[in-house]
Every structure is written in C-alpha cells, then in structure tokens.
Chain A
C-alpha cells in the first residue's frame, strides 16, 4: 500500500457460540485512503467493523489504530481516539431533533460550540433545514445523511461506513459519494462496506474481499472484481 497504515487488523477472530464470524482476518487501512470491504452476506464484514469499533470484543488477534492497541477498549474510548462509524441500518435517536442527535454526542466542546459544529456538519450534507425536525420523522435517505453528520462530530481520523449506499436512490448515492470525496480531500480516512461496484470503482483506491470470516483478496477495485476467488465467493 505504501502509505503509513492508520488501522492494522491482525488475525482477528470472533466466535458466536459455534459460529466463527471472523476467522483470523488480517488487513490494514492506509492513512488518507479510501478502502472498500466487500463480500457476500454473512461473510463477517459487519462483525469485523463491530470488532474495530469496540462493539464486539475479538476472541483473538489484535487491532491497532494510530499505533495504539484498541481491542478491549470501550466504543466511546475508541471514538475519542478518532474512529467513528455509521450503521448498516441507520439508527438515530428518534425522539430527539436532528440537531440534538448531533449535539448529544459532542465531546470536549461548549454547548454553543457543539451547536455550531452540528449546524456546520448538517449544512455540509445539505440537511441544515431539517435541524429542528424530530429524527423519527425523517425519510430513510435523510437519516443516512444525518447519521454521517453525527459520525463526524468527533472530527474522526477514520470513518467506518457500513453500507452507506444501500437502499437509496442513485441521485442520493451520488450526493453521498460527493460528500465522501470531500471528506477524503480533507484528510479523513474512509473504510466502507458496500456491494455497489460502480461506487467502489469511483472512490476506493483499495478493495478488500472477505469470505467466511477471512480476507481472501486485496487490490485495486478493477482487479478485485475479476479475481477468481472473489467471483467464486459470490457465485
């Protein structure tokens, strides 16, 4: 990869009873890069993200972020170091307003500074006009945008995005793509799970392919989509 790795995953194993969801996954994400993670359903992608974000504790292996071992740390501690995430199924605080959803997760800011930062981020994803709407009343696409803005409240160095393009129309997909490109240009490292090769080809420099809990291939997107191991995993 060349550049300094920001995130290093080494031999991570996660079991749920007798099921091995992640089976010795090893990979790295370079600083200021955009890395995609693909794989068939049930291949362990979201579980690997959960292990990185501290939601699940790996049974074996090591995860290093910014040179610091992070497995065993709580999700909020990992966030504080500079790693944020979004979810496959968008989950906002439905009984709070859009603005409150962002301000609630602010850290180390005064109330006024938190509101200012939240408003800037909502404007960045072009939903500033919805700041006083209850999150529970938003459309699916709007929730996706608010969730991305919320994940940026911590000014993360690495943003994990779990299927940010799933279930939304191509117009909104292009909008999100534009925002992600802007974030990349500002130096935020992006690591995203998705199935949309059109988008991955557009934005990712590297794509990792996962099957049965293992990383089976790594390379440029147009190489990965022709890789026989990847094709075998999907078909």
Chain B
C-alpha cells in the first residue's frame, strides 16, 4: 500500500513539471493552431542554461529559474516575431515544418554551445523528505511546487487580466477578435513568449532530476504532445490534468512493466485517445 501511494505521489510530482511545459505548448496551439516542435528546445535550453548558471556561476537555484524563464520567454517572443508570424496564416504544414526545422537548428546550436555530453546539477536538492510513511525526492517536491505555482499564475493571468482575456478571445475566434480591435499579432508574440517562459522554467526544474543535453528536448516534447492529446488540444486545464495523468502512468507503469515499456504505454494512451476521444478530456476540438 505504501509503495502504491509513493508511486502515485511521485507520478503526480513529475506530472506537475510536465504540466508547466505542456500548458505552454497547448497555449500556443490554442491561440495560433501552431504545433511548436521547437518547444522541446525551449526546455533543453532552459535546463542547460540553468546548469550553466547554477553550477558554472553559483547562481541560487530559484533565481536561476526566474532568469532562465525570462531569457527563454524572450527567445520565444523573438522566434515568433522573426519566424512563425510570417507563416501563421499559411497552411498548417508550413508552421509545422518551420518549427521542426528551427528545432533541428536549435539542437545543433546547443551542441555547439554545450557539447553533446550529459550535464547534471549535483548537490542541488539531492536529499529526500519524509512525509508520513513516504520518502519523497526533495528535487521533485521543489520542482512540483514551483511548477504548480507558475502554472497557476499563468492561469490567473489568462482568467483575470485584460491581456489574458484578449489571448482567450484570439484563441476562440481569431477573426472576430481582430475585427473587434484586438491586435492579434501582439497577442501571438506574447503567447509564444509565455510558452517559452513556461518551458524554460520547466527545463531548469527538471535539471536536478535528469541529466541534461541539447538533444533532450525531443524526448520531452513528445511527452508534452501526449499530455495535450490526453488533456485536450487547446485546453489549459486539460493540459494540467493530462500532465498529472501522464506523470502517474509513467511512474506507475515504470514500476509495473519496466521503464522501457512504460514509454510505450504513453504512446498507447496517445493512440487510444486519438482514436476514441480525439478531443481529449477537456478539448475544444480542431478548428477548421
């Protein structure tokens, strides 16, 4: 029983970090209907920058999260302005291929900067915390807490602020939003920046748990896609619930059937949702 609870809690903790990444990816999809393949590189750059700051320059971990999130957010903003905005009104295949190409360029850029080896964050939140009968990883607890707070702040921003409402309006009916006076291009820049900020923060939060390298983005972006298929394309709340589900499936699956097959379980889940419930748990469906 204790093991089952521990597995569940660990799955939820991992899912919280996936939520941070997937909510940003889903936000970008919701507003622009662009599938951002380079989102994984926002995460890997976040992780590697975080390692450089914390290990290389001795920057405190939580300050590094903030600095990296802002830097990757700005990177996302510029990527939208310089690249994606130019194809946003074109057929979806254009933005798909563009972000895929950008992803490849970023991976190679990362290899030039950080090399191909794995980089870790030894000694950062490496202990464990006893919570009743359970022993939980300190890194996971901190990462989960920060991720949930950040995801919640972005949710509150979307729900309460004027900008957030404009983002939701563009997401729901872009043509009407534009004719009603919302500067859709600015909203798209802001959304891409926000997505980058969330993925960058997720990268730093993952760094104490997983070894980081410039090619790690692909592994995580596929998980984020699984999350948004399960949670529902375009739904922020769906991405959060989907992420917790995927975290639990990954951890519990890893314990029951081994890590390799646990990854396959995620893909089974994605296939099942695509075939049986393509709108996901909370999805808005595909706008044609």
Q: Does B124 contact A (CB under 8 A)?
A: no
Given known A93-B168, A105-B181, contact A111–B161 (CB-CB < 8 A): yes
Complex CA distance for A76 and B183, rounded to whole angstroms: 6
Complex CA distance for A154 and B183, rounded to whole angstroms: 13
CB closest chain-B residue, reference A50: B179
Q: Which of B114-122, B169-177, B240-248 contacts A (4 or more CB under 8 A)?
A: B169-177
Instruction: Return B175 CB to nearest CB of chain A, in Å.
Output: 8
Contact residue among B165, B175, B179 (Cβ-Cβ distance under 8 Å from A104): B165
Instruction: Return A76 CB to nearest CB of chain B, in Å.
Output: 5
A105 touches B172 (CB 8 A): no
- Contacts of B160 on A, CB cut-off 8 Å? 111
CB closest chain-B residue, reference A101: B169
Given known A93-B176, A103-B162, A109-B162, contact A76–B182 (CB-CB < 8 A): yes
B166, B173, B179, B183 interface centre (most CB from chain A within 10 Å): B179
Within 8 A of B (CB), among A68-82: 74-76, 79-80
Q: Does A85 contact B (CB under 8 A)?
A: yes
Report whether over half of chain B's contact residues are helix, strand or loop; otherwise say mixed: helix
0 or 1 for each of B42-81: is its CB under 8 Å from A? (1 = yes): 0000000000000000000000000000000000000000
B181 touches A84 (CB 8 A): yes
- Contacts of B169 on A, CB cut-off 8 Å? 93, 96, 101, 104-105
Instruction: Return A162 CB to nearest CB of chain B, in Å.
Output: 11
Give the A-B contact count at a CB cut-off of 8 A.
67
- Contacts of A75 on B, CB cut-off 8 Å? 178-179, 181
- Contacts of A53 on B, CB cut-off 8 Å? 179
- Contacts of B183 on A, CB cut-off 8 Å? 74, 76
Instruction: Return B255 CB to nearest CB of chain A, in Å.
Output: 39
Within 8 A of B (CB), among A25-78: 53-55, 74-76
Given known A55-B179, A93-B176, contact A104–B184 (CB-CB < 8 A): no
Within 8 A of A (CB), among B170-220: 172-173, 175-184
B178 touches A103 (CB 8 A): no
A79 touches B162 (CB 8 A): no
CB closest chain-B residue, reference A99: B165
Contact residue among A55, A87, A103, A107 (Cβ-Cβ distance under 8 Å from B165): A103
Complex CA distance for A105 and B160, rounded to whole angstroms: 14
Instruction: Return A110 CB to nearest CB of chain B, in Å.
Output: 8
Given known A111-B161, A114-B162, contact A104–B177 (CB-CB < 8 A): yes
- Contacts of B181 on A, CB cut-off 8 Å? 75-76, 79-80, 84, 105, 107, 153-154
Given known A93-B172, A95-B168, A96-B169, contact A105–B180 (CB-CB < 8 A): yes
Show 24 residue pairs from A and B whose CB-CB distance is below 8 angstroms, ordered by the A residue. Answer: A53-B179, A55-B175, A75-B178, A76-B182, A76-B183, A79-B180, A87-B176, A91-B173, A91-B176, A93-B169, A93-B172, A93-B173, A93-B177, A95-B168, A103-B162, A104-B168, A104-B182, A105-B169, A105-B181, A105-B182, A107-B181, A111-B161, A111-B162, A150-B180
